Structure 1
Amino acid sequence: MTEASKTASASRGGFPDVRPVEDAPPELGRFVAALHRLQDLTVSTRPDPALWAAAAEHVESAGALLDGHQVSEVEAVAGRVLSLPGLGHPLLPPWTITSAGPDGVTMAGHFTQSHVGGNQAVHGGMIPLLYDWLCGMVVTCAEIRPTRTAYLHVDYRKITPIDEPLTAHGRVSELDGRKAFVTATMTAADGTVLTEANGLMVRLLPHQP
């Protein structure tokens, strides 16, 4: 272990110092977009049973191509690319950070068929996932890191639709020692507030993972 890594480990309690990737391969965006398309089709189609087996073989082949190339959390690319929807992470909704700074973070994007909870409305559990990501970005841009989510409360004001442009904004509303309180909203294109959230992010002590 280098002296620099020893210092980082001592100050961060072993929490990995994961930074954005600037030189991500362009093929990653194509791959993640294909995965999102696959997820949408998985929950919205009813093909001949034989097609499920054929499709499974293709997915298994893709897994076999990538298997054996695993790296550490700080070396992996997916989930760290600010320019890609969902940071290039296949499980995050395809949203993009449009502005970010110490005063707050704004994201724009949409939800798709794979996020439906029923009757073409976004599943209630998908929305806290987006807000947790947003809260993490808010405290990171405010240079409050590393943190863990202590709580996240979401108020559902209206049905959140799929395949429609949405915007979310979050900011630090209060600081109290290691505690960073974050407030956030999600709005439709016409400005209608769909959901609101407030969360508590707690800065880790040096010994906390």
Structure 2
Amino acid sequence: MSTDQQTGHATEAGAPFDGRAAIEALMVAPGPPALGSAYQAMTEELRGFLDVLAGAAIDTEHAARLRAQLAQMTSRLRGLEVGEPQRLWGHWTDRPGRGQALIPSYDVPKGSLEASATVTFGRFHVGENMAVHGGAISMLFDDLLGWLLARSDLPPSRTAFLTTNFRAVTPVGVELTVHARITHVEGRKRFLAAELRHGDTVCADAEGLWVELRPGQP
């Protein structure tokens, strides 16, 4: 067995990274519960830092001080880097936020064919005028729909396309409701849809296609 030096993916005799195995592995926590709690608390603190930074008008002195502090932390973490299968970031799939700060945190949905969750976007995801950036909304849809598929009895799949329609301004800092559902399955194709609401207002909706991965396919 060797390791891809760019991705950190383990390979067997030069074989490509197995995407199905990687997605199936996400259903198992990457560490004990105590570590999961500590990692979740850390990433929530990071999420709060990014929101505050996005809304702060700092001066030159603050910028220089933060850069130095971040550089120190980066240096300490470099010695702890691991390959993709061993990383913790985003792999706590049984916890809100999954231990990452890219996608806004939402409770892990319980449905198998459809599910709803609440979500609040912070200022880290703002576009302009306190409205959520459209790309952040699409990321949320992609993440939630992919998670719904992962919880179903269907084999692992990857996004083929995702179309997002922006119906109204999505506000920052307020609780929103997102609903996702698997609409139908045709062979290896899985068709899904989602909707993001602020009260009775539809802020955005989406429809997408996921395609089942073949064994050994990255």
TM-score between the two structures when normalised by the length of structure 1: 0.86
- Partners of 2:84 and 2:205 lie apart in 1 by 31
* 2: CA distance, partners of 1:134 / 1:55: 33
Q: 1:148 aligns with which of 145, 158, 165?
A: 158
Structure 2 match to 1:205: 214
Identity of aligned residues (%): 29
Q: Which residue of 2 aligns with 1:90?
A: 101
For these two proteins, the number of residue pairs brought into alignment is 201
- Residue 28 of structure 1 corresponds to 39
1:167 has 2:167 as partner? no
1:14 to 3, 8, 18: 18
1:1-80 matched pairs, under 5 angstroms: 14-15=18-19, 16=22, 17-20=24-27, 21=29, 23-24=32-33, 25=35, 26-80=37-91
* Alpha carbons 1:180, 1:201 under 8 Å: kept: yes
What CA RMSD, in Å, does the superposition of the two structures yield over aligned residues? 2.4
Shift of 1:39: 1.5
Structure-2 change in CA distance of 1:27 and 1:65 (3 Å): farther
* Displacement after TM superposition at 1:162 (Å): 0.7
Task: Provide structure 2 residue ranges, at least 5 long, that are not aligned to the other structure.
Answer: 2-9
1:167 to partner: Cα distance: 1.4
Question: 1:148 and 1:94, CA in 2 relative to 1: closer, same or farther beyond 3 A?
Answer: same
Give 1:147's aligned amino acid: S
Task: Specify which of 97, 104, 110 is matched with residue 100 of structure 1.
Answer: 110
Selected match of 1:192 from 201, 214, 218? 201
Q: More strand by proportion, 1 or 2?
A: 1
Letter paired with 2:99 = G
CA distance in 2, matches of 1:192, 1:95: 19
SS of 2:165's equivalent? strand
| Contact 1:104/1:169, CA 8 A, preserved across alignment | yes
Maintained 8 Å contact 1:87/1:96: no
Q: CA deviation at 1:51?
A: 1.2
Contact 1:85 1:93 in 2 (8 A): no
Deviation, 1:95, is 2.0
Q: How far is the alpha carbon of 1:30 from its aligned partner?
A: 2.4
The 2-side partners of 1:33 and 1:187 are apart by 24
